[in-house]
């Protein structure tokens, strides 16, 4: 009789939401969110009395996004052994999300961390619980007790893109994406810009499979891309299906979230790895100490997001060139600078202009050389 | 304990002395909350006998048979089969033991063919059987037991008599040695009844036994060897049929003397039949009325009749010859394909049962439980069915439950039905009580006409007398009554005129006072009326 | 044979209630057992559930918020059930109502006192429109409404998603896969509980009155109990089926309007949160009585609310669904068992012994 899961997650996926949100912002109507709001400090909390609650968008065993957040939760537990943590998996993108966050507050949480974008659903609760600190991954609003954070994954993608540009023989890179949303635009664009920085002949073909986790569709997409002559696959998926395709076909692949080399040791090049441990520990510490302030925060390269150690088939000189750029970025360099044209050939970023993180966060167009996204 | 040993030519076969009864019941008790359904019932059924079980509605006959067939577990007593004690945990055990029951309401799958129904749930059905195999097996069974059926026909298309033959054949095929028939002739034509009895005698001649539940005393006396009577759940006695008379049985059954009064005679002061020339127009008339069923077949053909106040018009005919359609046309339930319905001489534009009811036309439907009542609802809601829209129950679009309960109480009192509580679902009442309630309900609104279809079907003698008295009382008040019945004697006793339907055509309307069974029988068979009431061929 | 069962023709309400209480207790016992076996402390969980769901203000507010749509969808399914029709499509009509309400809310600027009633009216009209085709097909062609209403749920759900991410997608504040925030909202009366809650309560009470105390209700009841008898009594059964189904669609749609204008404030995919399907559960528990919808919806709301609490203890949402199913299953068994009464039978002596 009940034909769907109770949480009715049609669109509950974190990055989709993020993308659409930022996509709308790309219209230029949304100002970059205030990075720091004025607000009173919340009183300190003794570690033994503290309760920190996490709301996840998928199960902690998903092997990808939520698993990485869960490692952050584990780090918090380790850093504050007397503090209690609770979490809820698969928080739906519906009014039930509000209820879950309210329940966190009802159970006495002093800090609530949503590891995905819940927009109004978390805002409705945070406005009514001014004594509780709320942090939302991929959020946009900063209020007196609500802040947001996100990873600048585009820098890691750019570094991997350099390796792709050096390693491709066919000069065609394939990208298995979910939806045409800012995270994916930032991913494709960063990889291709990185590749073109060392090999201007490279082009990219992207396929959207309308899911973050669909091994069958990802396998089909990876196979189709390989058939089209792509010899380097990348994408943003929560599982390693297209890595297996690459392994079977003798081509290369780069992944997301975490180390996946065991699924295709020959094909594995690297991965955009996420690490929320330090950020969560620092946030919780600030809350306990009474110094927490709501803000918008980007986790930067080397501090929450990075490239995974290179695969064993990556030539040392390739690794060296890519890592040189990694070191430059970590030293403060921003490779996203004009001129950048979009897929239609229009000049979007003029020469000398630099795209800052806030702008990349809302990227909603593909750069020249990317096909299959628009 | 009597043991019939006499063996006429067509009668029971000789049975060796000492042969145990096929079925012996000893002190069977069965209780329902607040009801003693059976109390200490002991009787036996010998091989080679047809044993009739008589009793008023609610006397416990059906419960007893449900115990015998394993549908109920007895609360006390024992069932002894061929000398061995048995307990049936389920109906299947009883079937395996050779007891087969044919219920009053057939338990066939309407969408299946005859052959499929015969083989349904039967252990001997071949594992992989084509329709052809099943049909040929059915044909063989049909010949062996002397019940002719059409194996490939779909049950839904069969007449009641044909369905009953399928049901009996189904039971016989499972090697039943004791056949229990509940009211088997209620739905049969006289000819079908004769066929059934012939087959039952043949069944008996092979040393098997039959328990026959019936209300028709004449039939019982005609076919049975011994008769047992239940009254109020207790076994009153068992008699050899040869020693019984109909009047005597009826007396024992109801526990009181039944007086057959001349029902056609008007009470002093009763309304006269408004049929004289110059009197007002007939209350209800049909002019060339025809109608068709869903398949486009004409079920009522060019019927013209008049119903006058203060008379009872009987409608005779073998079931399925247009009676249902006629009653539905007369009560506004079915539109005509041709012709007109006249109410007080004025054509009725639309077939609307509510409007007919408002005009004072009551209707006791053929199948009360299916079309006259909502079985799951309580007595109150059911009794309000005709008057829910008029004060005091229905005012300003409301439904006054208190007023409805008062109405139900009035009807229940008038029907002399004892009920524990007006909130009892009506399906918990016995068939006789349901019929009385429906009859009283309809009589209340029948200020002009009452159309009563088979009002005595399935009732015991006492209940039949009551219902017929309702009709004559109504007639005496000047109401026109249309009585559809398959019981010719009843029609001849009660009706002033009798119309005979055959294949949807009204063959003739004859004066009941001068009509005889033979004439009506011929008309029912589709022959036109002979010249005189006594002429024509005799009935076989 | 030492004992046997026999079937009672009718069951008194008290008897049924007792059996149902037993069923719920049994379901809880089984749940407790499983929780204990998986290494959790059932007493601690029970304590948390009771404290959070009914012992705290947030819990009571959430209970009322759950109740609001459940009352309406439960009543929607109950109303058609009274005439023997199963509206499985309350979910779809819920979406249709939300879409209709959102259309007015987004594109018709005006004061709340004017816009809110218009949203409700438009939502109800959309819900009725959504069920119109199945209703006509059922009333006049005998097409099974279970299939048609069910299938339209998916259409409505996908249409909602399409509107929320497509033509009506929020272009102003740039948040989420939903339409923009509605400029008007149903006023709140107690915390997050808005006026939809008392209105839903009042509607259910009104329906209880309508179905048992009016001519229309009587006709529906007769039509549901035996449509042949209804035709015999001249009740326009088709018109009543059509009417009951339209009313049902309107009720479910109003639930959608309340949800979008009172709780979520945006139209988005997954908005119905299965309230339409839970309405079926409520209706099954209510056994055709609109008054019974109140306790049935309360039980369902409590289970859902308890589910939220349990999720913070790492019980997944599916476990909550399983508990719901278990409760329903046990109640279904109890309803049937309530018909039986154990009877001890004298041990039947065998025929051989009995014979001299």
**C351 with B85: Cβ contact below 8 A:** yes
Least confident of A161-170, A249-258, A277-286, C303-312: C303-312
Nearest to A20 among C177, C270, C271 (CB): C177
Residue ranges of alpha helices (H) inside B53-159 are: 61-68, 91-96, 114-119, 131-145
Scanning B387-426 for CB atoms below 8 A from C yields: 388-389, 394, 397-401, 424-425
**What was the pLDDT predicted at C171?**
54
Chain B: list its partners (3+ Cβ pairs within 8 Å): C
Helix crossing, C57-82 with C196-213: angle to 10°? 30
Q: How far is C258 from chain B (nearest CA, A)?
A: 30
Segment (H or E) for B45: strand B35-45
Domain parsing of chain B, residue ranges: 23-254, 263-372+445-540
Find the residue in C nearest to B75 (Cα). C345
Give the pair of three-digit tokens for residue A205: 């073909």
* pLDDT score at B527: 61
Average pLDDT, chain A: 86
Flag if A102 and C62 touch (Cβ within 8 Å). Answer: yes
Give me A356's structure tokens.
């800052």
Inter-chain touch A10–C314, beta carbons under 8 Å: no
Question: Is the N-terminal amide bond of B392 cis, ω within 30° of 0?
Answer: yes
Task: Please give the distance of CA C264 from its chain centroid, rounded to a whole number.
Answer: 19
Partner residue opposite C175 with nearest CB, options A7, A16, A119: A119
User: Under an 8 A CB cutoff, do C62 and A104 touch?
Assistant: no
Read off φ and ψ for residue B192, nearest 5 degrees.
-65, -35
| B140, HSE (Cβ side, Cα atoms, 13 Å) | 8
Identify the weakest region by mean pLDDT among A53-62, B8-17, B241-250, B320-329. B8-17
Predicted local distance difference test score (pLDDT) of residue A147: 93
Quick one: pLDDT band at residue B196, thresholds 50, 70, 90?
Answer: confident
Tell if the CB–CB gap between C233 and B84 is shorter than 8 Å.
no
Average pLDDT over residues A351-359: 91
Which residues 210-249 of chain C have a CB within 8 Å of chain B? 212-219, 221-222, 225-226, 228-235
User: For position B17, what pLDDT does the model report?
Assistant: 65
The answer to whether C179 touches C268, Cβ cutoff 8 Å, is yes
Predicted confidence band of residue B243 (pLDDT cuts 50, 70, 90): confident
Q: Which stretch, B91-95, B143-147, C247-251, has highest mean pLDDT?
A: C247-251
Facing C214 at nearest CB: one of B77, B375, B399: B399
pLDDT of residue B315 exceeding 70, the answer is yes
SS3 assignment, position B470: helix
Number of neighbours of residue B413 by Cβ within 10 angstroms: 10
Percent of chain B surpassing pLDDT 70: 84
pLDDT for residue A160: 96
Question: How far, in Å, CA of A180 to CA of B72, rounded?
Answer: 69
Q: Which residue of C has its CA nearest to B90?
A: C4
Q: Across-strand partners of C169? A: C179
Residue B290: what are its φ and ψ, rounded to 5°? -135, 150
Q: Centre a 10 Å sphere on the Cβ of residue B530 and count the other Cβ atoms it contains.
A: 14
Average pLDDT over residues C184-196: 91
Distances (CA, A) of C242 to B376, C126, C235, C237, C251: 23, 15, 13, 8, 14
Quick check: A14 pLDDT over 50?
no
What is the C-alpha separation between B325 and B329, in angstroms, rounded?
A: 6
Q: Please report whether residue C71 resides in a domain.
A: no
In this structure, what token pair is assigned to residue B76? 């006390």
Mean pLDDT, to the nearest integer, of B370-383? Answer: 89
Per-residue pLDDT, averaged over B104-133, amounts to 81
Mean pLDDT of C138-153: 91
The per-residue DSSP string of B143-204 comes to HHHT----TTSBGGGS-HHHHHHHHHHHHHHTT-SEEEEESTTTT--HHHHHHHHHHHHHHH
pLDDT (average), residues B232-259: 74
pLDDT of residue A264: 92
Structure confidence at residue B187 (pLDDT): 67
Report the C-alpha gap between C342 and C334 in whole angstroms. 14
Report which DSSP code applies to C169.
B
Cβ B377 vs Cβ C225: under 8 Å = yes
Chain C partners of A53 at a C-beta cutoff of 8 Å? Answer: 312
Q: Is the pLDDT of residue A22 over 50?
A: no
d(CA C121, CA C235): 29
pLDDT of residue A27: 35
Identify whether C17 is part of a domain: no
Contact C233 B32 (CB under 8 A): no
Integer Cα distance of A353 and A345 in angstroms: 17
- For residue B386, the chain C residues in CB contact (below 8 A) are 233
According to the model, what pLDDT value does residue A104 have? 92
DSSP A266-303: TTEEEEEEE--HHHHHHHHHHHHHT----BEEEEPBTT
* Chain A residue at shortest CA distance from C312: A88
Which residues 165-194 on chain A approach chain C with CB closer than 8 angstroms? none
Statement: B263-372+445-540 belongs to CATH 3.40.50.300: yes
Q: Is the pLDDT of residue C343 over 80?
A: no
In which band, very low, low, confident or very high, does the pLDDT at B15 lie, cut at 50, 70 and 90?
A: low
Convert the pLDDT of each residue in B28-62 to its tens digit: 998 876 667 888 899 889 888 999 988 766 678 88
Chain C nearest-CA distance from B23, in A, is 11
- Touch of C by A (3+ CB pairs closer than 8 Å): yes
Please check whether residue A222 is in contact with residue A275, taking contact to mean a CB–CB distance below 8 angstroms: no
| Calculated CA dihedral for residues A201, A207, A213, A214, nearest 10 degrees | -120
Angle, helices A182-198/A153-167, rounded to nearest 10 degrees: 40
3-state secondary structure of B39: strand
Of A17, A53, A92, the CB nearest to C176: A17
pLDDT digits (tens, 9 = 90+) for C233-243: 889 999 999 99
Comparison of pLDDT for B216 and B386, the residue scoring more:
B386
Please give the average per-residue pLDDT across A36-54, as a whole number: 82
What is the three-class DSSP state of C5?
A: strand
Residue A18: the pLDDT is: 40
Pairwise CA distance, residues B226 & B499, whole Å? 37
Per-residue pLDDT of B256-311, as tens digits, reads 544 445 666 676 666 667 666 556 678 888 998 898 876 667 788 899 999 888 88
A339 in C contact zone (CB under 8 Å):
no
Alpha helices in chain C (DSSP H): 13-37, 42-53, 57-82, 90-107, 112-141, 145-165, 196-213, 215-225, 227-232, 237-258, 275-286, 290-311, 317-337, 351-354
Give the pLDDT mean for B128-137: 83
Please tell me the distance from the alpha carbon of residue A305 to that of residue B413, in angstroms, as a whole number: 88
* Cβ-proximal residues to A207 (8 Å cutoff; 6+ apart), any chain: A174, A175, A176, A177, A221, A224, A225, A372
Per the domain annotation, does C137 fall within a domain? yes
Q: Do C176 and A2 touch (CB under 8 A)?
A: no
Residues of B in contact with C214 (CB under 8 A): 397-399
In this complex, do C354 and B80 lie within 8 Å of one another by their Cβ atoms?
A: yes
pLDDT tens per residue across span B476-511: 888 999 999 877 778 888 888 889 888 788 888 888
| Window 110-129 of A, Cβ < 8 Å to C | 117, 119-120, 124, 128
Q: CA-CA distance, C259 to C197, in Å (whole number)?
A: 10
Question: Taking all residues of chain C, what is their mean pLDDT, rounded to a whole number?
Answer: 87
What is the average pLDDT across B463-476? 86
Residue A12 to chain C, least CA–CA distance (Å)? 9
DSSP secondary-structure letter at A38? -
User: How many Å apart are CA C199 and CA C197, to the nearest integer?
Assistant: 5
Interface touch B357/C233, C-beta < 8 Å = yes
Residue-wise pLDDT tens digits, C70-100: 999 999 999 999 999 999 999 999 999 999 9
Q: Give the residues across from A203 on adjacent strands.
A: A172
Mean pLDDT of B65-79: 87
Closest CB to B85 among C217, C228, C350: C350
What's the average model confidence in pLDDT over A327-336? 94
pLDDT number for residue B14:
66
Residues from chain A contacting residue C176 (CB–CB below 8 Å): 17, 20-21, 93, 117, 119-120
Common-topology check for domains B23-254 and B263-372+445-540: yes
Residues 310-369 of B with CB under 8 A from C: 332-333, 352-357, 363, 365
Name the residue among B134, B73, B114, B123 with its Cα closest to residue B95: B123
Backbone angles phi, psi at B300, to 5 degrees: -135, 125
Residue B92, phi then psi, degrees to nearest 5: -60, -35
pLDDT of residue B58: 64
- Residue A204, pLDDT score: 96
Helix axes C13-37 and C42-53, enclosed angle (nearest 10)? 120
In a domain, C319, yes or no: no
Mean pLDDT of C275-304: 91
Identify the domain containing residue C190 by its residue range: 78-272
Task: Show the beta-strand stretches assigned E in chain C.
Answer: 3-7, 188-190, 193-194, 340-344
B-chain CB neighbours of C348 within 8 Å are: 74, 77-78, 85, 87
Binary contact (C56, A8; C-beta < 8 A) = no
Domains of chain A: 14-152+276-299 (3.40.50.2300), 153-274+305-371 (3.40.50.2300)
Give residue B526's pLDDT: 63
| Cis-peptide, bond into residue C175, ω within 30° of zero | no
Question: Measured between beta carbons, which residues in chain A are less than 8 angstroms from residue C273?
Answer: 6-8, 92, 94-96
Q: With an 8 Å Cβ cutoff, are A4 and C170 in contact?
A: no
Total domain count, chain C: 1
Cα B287 to Cα B329: distance, rounded to the nearest angstrom: 12
Query: Do the chains contact at C268 and A93, CB–CB below 8 Å?
Result: yes
- CA of C176 to nearest chain A CA: how many angstroms apart? 5
Which residues in chain B have their CB less than 8 angstroms from residue C218's CB? 381, 384, 388, 399
CB B517 within 8 A of CB B538: no
Of C58, C270, C313, the CB nearest to A93: C270
CB contact under 8 A, C354 and B375: no
CA B55 to chain CA centroid, Å, is: 15
In a domain, C55, yes or no: no
- Helix C90-107 crosses helix C237-258 at what angle (to 10 degrees)? 60
Instruction: Give the whole-angstrom CA distance, residue C318 versus residue C315.
Output: 8
Please measure the distance between the N-terminal and C-terminal CA atoms of chain B and give it in whole angstroms: 36
Q: What is the pLDDT of residue B33?
A: 65
pLDDT at B6: 45
C143 versus C347: the higher-pLDDT residue is C143
Question: What is the ipTM score, two decimals?
Answer: 0.84
Q: Read out DSSP for A185-240? A: HHHHHHHHHHHHHH-TT-EEEEEE-S-SS-HHHHHHHHHHHHHTT--EEEE--SS-
Q: How far apart are CA B67 and CA B78, in angstroms?
A: 10
Beta carbons of A22 and C192 less than 8 Å apart: no
Please give the pLDDT value at position B279.
60
The CATH number fitting domain B23-254, selected from 3.40.1310.30, 3.30.1490.20, 2.40.50.140, 3.40.50.300: 3.40.50.300
Q: C268 and A11: CB-CB below 8 Å?
A: yes
Rounded Cα distance, A25 and C173, in Å: 7
* Inside any domain, residue C64: no
- Residue A139's φ and ψ, nearest 5 degrees, are -85, 180
- Report the C-alpha gap between B436 and B434 in whole angstroms: 5
Contact residues, chain A, for C52 at CB < 8 Å? 103, 106-107
If one counts every other C-beta atom within 10 angstroms of the C-beta of residue B89, the result is 11
Interface of A with C in 207-226 (CB under 8 A): none
Q: Do A29 and C174 touch (CB under 8 A)?
A: yes
Give me the count of residues in chain C. 356
How much is the pLDDT for B34?
Answer: 61
Closest-CA residue of chain A to C315: A88
């Amino acid at each position: 009789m009940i034909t769907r899961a109770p949480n009715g997650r049609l669109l509950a996926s974190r990055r989709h939401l993020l993308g659409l949100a930022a996509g709308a912002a790309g219209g230029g109507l949304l100002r970059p969110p205030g990075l720091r709001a004025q607000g009173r400090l919340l009183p300190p909390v003794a570690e033994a009395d503290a309760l920190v609650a996490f709301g996840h968008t998928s199960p902690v065993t998903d092997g990808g996004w939520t698993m990485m957040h869960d490692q952050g939760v584990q780090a918090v537990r380790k850093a504050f052994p007397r503090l209690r943590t609770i979490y809820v998996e698969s928080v739906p993108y519906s009014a039930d999300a509000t209820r879950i966050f309210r329940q966190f507050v009802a159970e006495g949480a002093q800090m609530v961390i949503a590891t995905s974008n819940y927009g109004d659903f978390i805002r409705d609760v945070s406005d009514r619980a001014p004594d509780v600190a709320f942090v939302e991954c991929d959020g946009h609003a900063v209020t007196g007790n609500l802040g947001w954070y996100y990873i600048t994954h585009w820098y890691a993608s750019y570094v991997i893109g350099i390796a792709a540009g050096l390693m491709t023989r066919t000069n065609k890179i394939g990208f298995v994406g979910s939806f045409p949303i800012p995270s994916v635009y930032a991913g494709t664009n960063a990889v291709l810009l990185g590749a073109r920085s060392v090999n201007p002949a490279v082009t990219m073909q992207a396929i959207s499979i309308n899911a973050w986790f669909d091994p069958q569709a990802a396998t089909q997409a990876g196979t189709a891309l390989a058939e089209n002559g792509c010899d380097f696959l990348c994408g943003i998926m929560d599982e390693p299906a297209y890595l297996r395709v690459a392994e079977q076909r003798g081509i290369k692949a780069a992944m997301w979230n975490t180390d996946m080399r065991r699924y295709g040791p020959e094909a594995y090049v690297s991965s955009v790895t996420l690490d929320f441990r330090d950020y969560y520990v620092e946030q919780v510490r600030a809350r306990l100490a009474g110094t927490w302030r709501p803000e918008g925060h980007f986790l930067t390269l080397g501090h929450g997001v990075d490239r995974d150690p290179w695969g064993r088939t990556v030539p040392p000189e390739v690794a060296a060139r890519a890592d040189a750029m990694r070191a430059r970025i970590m030293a403060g360099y921003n490779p996203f600078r004009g001129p950048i044209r979009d897929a239609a050939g229009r000049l979007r970023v003029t020469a000398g202009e630099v795209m800052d993180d806030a702008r990349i966060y809302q990227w909603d167009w593909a750069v020249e050389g990317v096909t299959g996204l628009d | 304990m009597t043991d019939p040993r006499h063996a006429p030519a067509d009668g029971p076969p000789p049975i060796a002395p000492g042969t145990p009864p096929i079925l012996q019941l000893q002190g069977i008790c069965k209780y329902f909350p607040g009801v003693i359904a059976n109390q200490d019932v002991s009787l036996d059924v010998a091989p080679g006998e047809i044993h009739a079980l008589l009793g008023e509605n609610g006397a416990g006959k059906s419960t007893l048979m449900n115990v015998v067939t394993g549908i109920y577990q007895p609360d006390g007593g024992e069932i002894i089969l061929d000398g061995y004690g048995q307990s049936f945990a389920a109906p299947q055990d009883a079937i395996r033991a050779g007891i087969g029951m044919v219920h009053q309401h057939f338990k066939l799958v309407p969408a299946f063919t005859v052959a499929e129904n015969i083989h349904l749930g039967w252990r001997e059905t071949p594992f992989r059987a084509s329709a052809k195999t099943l049909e040929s097996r059915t044909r063989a069974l049909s010949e062996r037991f002397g019940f002719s059926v059409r194996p490939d026909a779909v049950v839904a298309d069969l007449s009641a008599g044909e369905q009953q033959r399928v049901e009996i054949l189904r039971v016989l095929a499972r090697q039943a040695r004791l056949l229990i028939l509940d009211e088997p002739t209620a739905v049969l034509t006289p000819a079908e009844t004769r066929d059934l009895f012939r087959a039952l005698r043949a069944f008996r001649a092979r040393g098997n036994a039959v328990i026959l539940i019936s209300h028709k005393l004449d039939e019982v006396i005609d076919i049975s060897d011994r008769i047992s009577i239940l009254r109020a759940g207790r076994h009153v006695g068992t008699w050899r049929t040869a020693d019984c008379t109909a009047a005597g049985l009826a007396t024992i059954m109801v526990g009181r003397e039944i007086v057959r009064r001349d029902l056609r005679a008007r009470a002093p002061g009763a309304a006269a039949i408004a049929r004289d020339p110059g009197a007002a127009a007939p209350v209800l008339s049909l002019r060339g009325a025809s109608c068709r069923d869903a398949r486009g077949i004409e079920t009522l053909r060019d019927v013209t009749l008049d119903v006058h106040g203060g008379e009872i018009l009987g409608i005779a005919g073998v079931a399925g010859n247009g009676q249902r359609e006629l009653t539905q046309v007369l009560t506004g339930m079915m539109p005509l394909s041709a012709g007109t319905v006249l109410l007080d001489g004025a054509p009725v534009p639309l077939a609307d049962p509510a409007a007919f009811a408002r005009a004072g036309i009551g209707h006791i439907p053929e199948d009360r439980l299916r079309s006259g009542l909502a079985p799951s609802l309580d007595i109150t809601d059911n009794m309000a069915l005709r008057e829910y829209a008029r004060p005091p129950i229905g005012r300003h679009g409301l439904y006054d439950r208190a007023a409805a309960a008062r109405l139900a109480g009035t009807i229940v009192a008038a029907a002399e039905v004892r009920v524990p509580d007006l909130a009892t679902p009506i399906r918990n009442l016995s068939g006789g009580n349901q019929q009385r309630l429906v009859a009283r309900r309809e009589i209340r609104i029948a200020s002009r006409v009452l159309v009563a279809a088979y009002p005595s079907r399935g009732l015991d003698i006492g209940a039949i007398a009551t219902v017929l008295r309702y009709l004559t009382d109504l007639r005496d008040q000047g109401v026109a009554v249309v009585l559809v019945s398959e019981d010719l004697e009843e029609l001849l006793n009660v009706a002033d005129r009798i119309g005979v339907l055959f294949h949807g055509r009204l063959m003739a309307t004859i004066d009941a006072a001068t009509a005889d069974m033979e004439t009506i029988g011929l008309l029912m068979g589709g022959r036109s009326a002979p010249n005189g009431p006594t002429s024509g061929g005799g009935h076989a | 044979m030492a004992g046997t069962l026999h079937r009672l023709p009718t069951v008194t309400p008290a008897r049924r209630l007792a059996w149902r209480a037993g069923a719920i207790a049994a379901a809880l016992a089984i749940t407790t057992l499983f929780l204990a076996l998986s290494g959790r402390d059932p007493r601690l969980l029970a304590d948390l559930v009771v404290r959070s769901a009914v012992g705290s203000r947030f819990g009571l507010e959430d209970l009322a918020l759950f109740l609001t749509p459940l009352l309406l969808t439960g009543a929607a399914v109950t109303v058609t059930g009274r005439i023997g029709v199963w509206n499985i499509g309350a979910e779809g009509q819920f979406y249709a109502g939300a879409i209709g309400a959102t259309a007015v809310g987004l594109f018709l600027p005006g004061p709340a006192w004017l816009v809110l009633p218009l949203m409700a009216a438009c939502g109800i009209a959309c819900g009725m429109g959504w069920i119109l085709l199945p209703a006509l097909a059922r009333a006049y062609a005998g097409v099974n409404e279970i299939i048609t209403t069910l299938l339209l749920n998916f259409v409505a759900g996908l249409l909602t998603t399409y509107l929320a991410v497509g033509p009506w997608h929020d272009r102003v504040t740039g948040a989420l896969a939903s339409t923009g925030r509605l400029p008007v909202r149903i006023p709140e009366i107690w915390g997050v509980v808005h006026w939809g809650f008392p209105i839903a309560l009042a509607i259910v009470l009104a329906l209880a009155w309508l179905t048992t105390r009016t001519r229309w209700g009587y006709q529906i009841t007769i039509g549901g109990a035996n449509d042949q008898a209804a035709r015999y009594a001249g009740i326009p059964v088709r018109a009543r089926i059509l009417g009951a189904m339209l009313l049902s669609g309107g009720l479910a749609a109003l639930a959608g309007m309340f949800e979008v204008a009172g709780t979520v404030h945006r139209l988005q995919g997954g908005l119905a949160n299965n309230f339409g399907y839970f309405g079926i559960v409520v209706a099954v528990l209510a056994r055709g009585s609109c008054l019974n919808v109140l306790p049935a919806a309360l039980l369902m709301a409590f289970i859902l609310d308890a589910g939220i609490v349990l999720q913070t203890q790492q019980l997944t949402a599916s476990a909550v669904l399983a508990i719901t199913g278990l409760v329903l299953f046990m109640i279904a068994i109890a309803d049937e068992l309530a018909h039986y009464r154990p009877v001890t039978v004298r041990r039947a002596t065998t025929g051989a012994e009995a014979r001299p």
